[in-house]
A = this chain, B = another copy of it.
């Protein structure tokens, strides 16, 4: 199922290789070989190896990110619920990625974290304004009480991304769950909502 454009072919190749190897163990020649093109051609479409990785990340995240943004505009849903849905979307994105990448490698791959770092940056940067906007709407309509909407958005995104990726600060599964529950509780108390209002999207 080859993609249309040439640069997509290259990204496909990298994606394939990433399933069973870490980036630093994948050579540009290898990517070229897998894509079925010459090594030099890679540099016609991308300025560096790093740029290929960046492009792949963006491609992978573009669609779920768009739906998250779209969700932000559904003003008929309560802001608090929409915040919860972004919450959930984060989970799905991270989960999808994780399933995609940890088939062979256990979890000790330090170098792999290099990749997660880029995801973290991309996800927080893209989603922070969206989530901030939703929180502000919640504050205006009185369902959320908090003085630092942007900060709240960032805190949520950082903690969620890091804990759900579980690579930058590895923990056992139950520890991850515990931290998420703690975050939910902290959010509920911090936004002056009753305990359990965010909990309907519990650990699945």
**A interface residues with partner B (beta carbon < 8 Å):** 50, 110, 113-114, 117, 120-121, 124-125, 146-148, 150-152, 154-155, 158-159, 162-163, 168-170, 175, 178-183, 185-186, 189-190, 192
CA distance in complex: A148, B34 (Å): 48
Using Cβ atoms and an 8 Å threshold, which residues of chain B touch A121?
168-170
Inter-chain CA distance A154–B183, complex, in Å, is 10
Is the beta-carbon distance between B151 and A183 smaller than 8 angstroms? Answer: yes
A180–B154 Cα distance when bound, in Å, is 10
User: In the complex, what residues of B have CB within 8 A of residue A183's CB?
Assistant: 151, 155
Contact status A190-B179, CB under 8 Å = no
Q: Which of B114, B120, B155, B185 contacts A159 (CB 8 A)?
A: B155
Q: Are A179 and B159 in contact (CB under 8 A)?
A: no
List B contacts of A186 (CB < 8 A).
146, 148, 151-152, 155, 186, 190
Contact for A151 among B114, B148, B181, CB less than 8 A: B181
Show 29 A/B contacts (Cβ-Cβ < 8 Å), sorted by A. A50-B110, A113-B117, A114-B114, A117-B117, A117-B168, A120-B169, A124-B169, A125-B169, A146-B182, A146-B189, A147-B182, A148-B186, A150-B175, A150-B178, A150-B179, A150-B182, A151-B178, A151-B181, A151-B182, A151-B183, A151-B186, A154-B163, A154-B182, A155-B182, A158-B158, A158-B159, A158-B162, A186-B190, A189-B192
